[in-house]
A and B are shown apart, each in its own frame.
Chain A
Amino acid sequence: MMILIIGGSSSGKSAFAEDMIVSLSKEKKKYYIATMKVYDAESEKKIERHRILRKGKGFITLEQPVNIQNAIDKIDSRECNALLECISNLTANEMFLGDIPKVADTVAGKIVDGIKQLNDNVSQLVIVSNNVFEDGNVYDSATMEYIKAMGLINEKLGMLADSIIEVVAGIPVYIKDC
């Protein structure tokens, strides 16, 4: 089963997603698939905030900033749940990995395919994604391509997901119900 959780910056989506997977998992093993790379003090602080947020919740953390399907090798049985946090970092990492940014279709295709495989290898998969679509700004072409990739991924995951929940100021709004 796949659950997609979407929200803006500091909307409370991570805390909501963590609580959700904790309540879904009970005695089941649960993995936290982290995608953020440490590249400066700010990202380190962000990662630390998330670590504190999920401390004591019993997650096994897997670092998988690119090639999300490779997380499967680190999971020891299908009888577990996983929280993938988050699509925006994964997309940025995949897109800007080489010297030249990849096109949106390529990035979206690879990520969605990887997530499909991951979903086939766990019991319940909760995915956190971001609403990066509503600031009305026009950015440089690489950023616009990134937004396009995020849109494509959300759209495709939205089709695959059993349920979609938007988090607004910490409150869940049900977009697609299972």
Chain B
Amino acid sequence: MRLIIGGYAQGKLDYALQKYHVDSRNVFDGSIPDRAEVINGTVIINHLNTYIRQSMTDGKSPETEIFDFIDKYPDCVIITDEVGNGIVPIDEFERGFRETIGRIQIELAKMAEEVERVICGIGQKIK
């Protein structure tokens, strides 16, 4: 698994598409696909942050599905927004979201064979 992390609108998906030549049908935005939705080749999960937010809004724990997916597709690319570089939100849900996504990203980074941070469309290999 490869992890791409970076701020909002930094060109993370374009960077990944150029680097990994992924079929656009295998790019899933803010969702974890079922086996039936995936075709042969590398899979990209874009906006994992959106998925985590939705899952938490629905009262579920996002970790299980994410890690199950990686088990099934160990060659996937996961793209996620960096959201922790700000002031602690007043809203309790927002605080919880920031913490959950941070912890998930740490776990993903540990598992990943490569971690890149994208700024201004440029990837910086940090692992």
Interface residues of A (CB under 8 A from B): 7-12, 42, 131-137, 139, 143, 146-147, 168-171, 173
Q: Check if B84 sits within 8 Å of A9, measured CB to CB.
A: yes
Q: Interface on chain B toward A: helix, strand, loop, or mixed SS?
A: mixed
A146 to B99, CA, bound (A): 21
Q: Check if A169 sits within 8 Å of B3, measured CB to CB.
A: yes
Q: Check if A135 sits within 8 Å of B85, measured CB to CB.
A: yes
* Chain B interface, number of residues (Cβ within 8 angstroms): 27
Per-residue A-contact encoding for B94-105, CB less than 8 Å = 1, 0 else: 010011111101
Q: How far is the CB of A142 from chain B (nearest CB, A)?
A: 11
The A-contacting residues of B in range 103-118, CB under 8 angstroms, are 103, 105-106, 108-110, 115, 117
Contact partners of B7 in chain A: CB under 8 A: 134
Q: Check if A10 sits within 8 Å of B85, measured CB to CB.
A: no
Contact partners of A10 in chain B: CB under 8 A: 84, 98-103, 105-106
In the complex, B120 has a CB within 8 A of chain A: no
Interface residues of B (CB under 8 A from A): 3, 5, 7, 82-88, 95, 98-103, 105-106, 108-110, 115, 117, 124, 126-127
Which residue on chain B has the smallest CB distance to residue A132?
B87
Contact partners of B101 in chain A: CB under 8 A: 10
Identify which of A9, A131, A135, A170 contacts B109 (C-beta below 8 A): A170
Which residue on chain B has the smallest CB distance to residue A6?
B85
List the 6 closest A-B pairs by CB distance, nearest first. Answer: A10-B102, A135-B86, A8-B84, A134-B85, A169-B109, A9-B84
Contact partners of A147 in chain B: CB under 8 A: 87
